[in-house]
């Protein structure tokens, strides 16, 4: 399908999107042998995020001279102590041959803002939605590490359109079938309904290809 090869590129990504990346590897779109992941949910611990990210990039550079980082720019790393220190700044410090996917967070990698607005209008009547990807289901306890029910009650119920999982790999339907009690408990803990919405990985593929082309130039 894609004319661009990732064979000489290492990919370093948040573990939350490991499901989609491994899916693309299995289907042959990502023809790299080098996938490196950080622990899912490290947006809650930016110092550990930075430590793991830099370490994985260094490992990746030992394998290939080119590294594609799959991390959002705007929301995945927010440094309250040093507001000028951004994800892009960290990437730039890693030297030449390291680029980052151009998206704000993992949900944006799968569906852009316009598509998310369209989905919200279709299934939530335009109400405010809490967006997730399948990794937010599988790695729930890492993504929401340290969250108690009180914190959940402060954050989730204001999303009157519920939680929508942008699922391009059929993960949520299988999870609901195999672990219905856990799925219902998750929804109860959030205080809002959770529903999957089928999408494609076309945008994700396009964003990855865009950076692979840049690395090849």
Mean per-residue pLDDT for 28-34? 96
pLDDT band, very low/low/confident/very high, at 34 (cuts 50, 70, 90)? very high
Q: What is the pLDDT of residue 43?
A: 85
Domains of the chain plus CATH, in order, are 9-107+201-216 (3.40.50), 112-198 (no CATH)
For residue 48, what is the enclosing H or E element?
Answer: helix 46-63
Judged on CB neighbours under 10 Å (0-12, 13-18, 19+), 147 is middle
Q: What is the pLDDT of residue 15?
A: 97
Question: What is the percent of the chain where pLDDT is above 70?
Answer: 99
Mean per-residue pLDDT for 118-145? 96
Mean per-residue pLDDT for 115-141? 97
Mean per-residue pLDDT for 195-200? 98
Question: Which of 112, 37, 44, 113 minimizes the C-alpha distance to 78?
Answer: 44
| Mean pLDDT of all residues belonging to the chain | 95
Separation between Cα atoms, residue 217 and residue 200, nearest integer Å: 28
Least confident range of 7-16, 76-85, 132-141, 173-182: 76-85
Q: What is the pLDDT of residue 1?
A: 46
Separation between Cα atoms, residue 127 and residue 195, nearest integer Å: 14
């Amino acid at each position: 399908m894609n004319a661009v090869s990732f064979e000489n590129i290492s990919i370093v990504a948040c573990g939350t999107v490991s499901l989609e990346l491994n899916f693309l590897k299995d289907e042959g779109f990502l023809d790299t042998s080098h996938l490196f992941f950080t622990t899912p949910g490290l947006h809650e611990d930016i110092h550990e995020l930075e430590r793991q990210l830099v370490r994985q990039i260094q490992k990746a550079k030992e394998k290939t001279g080119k590294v594609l980082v799959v991390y959002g720019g705007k929301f995945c790393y927010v440094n309250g102590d040093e507001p000028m220190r951004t994800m892009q700044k960290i990437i730039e410090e890693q030297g030449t041959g390291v680029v980052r996917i151009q998206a704000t967070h993992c949900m944006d990698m799968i569906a852009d803002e316009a598509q998310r607005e369209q989905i919200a209008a279709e299934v939530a009547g335009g109400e405010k939605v809490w967006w997730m990807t399948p990794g937010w289901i599988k790695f729930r306890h890492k993504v929401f590490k340290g969250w108690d029910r009180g914190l959940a009650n402060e954050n989730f119920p204001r999303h009157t359109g519920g939680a929508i999982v942008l699922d391009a790999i059929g993960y949520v339907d299988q999870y609901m079938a195999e672990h219905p009690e856990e799925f219902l408990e998750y929804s109860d803990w959030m205080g809002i309904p959770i529903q999957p919405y089928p999408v494609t990985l076309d945008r994700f593929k396009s964003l990855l290809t865009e950076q692979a082309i840049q690395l090849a130039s």
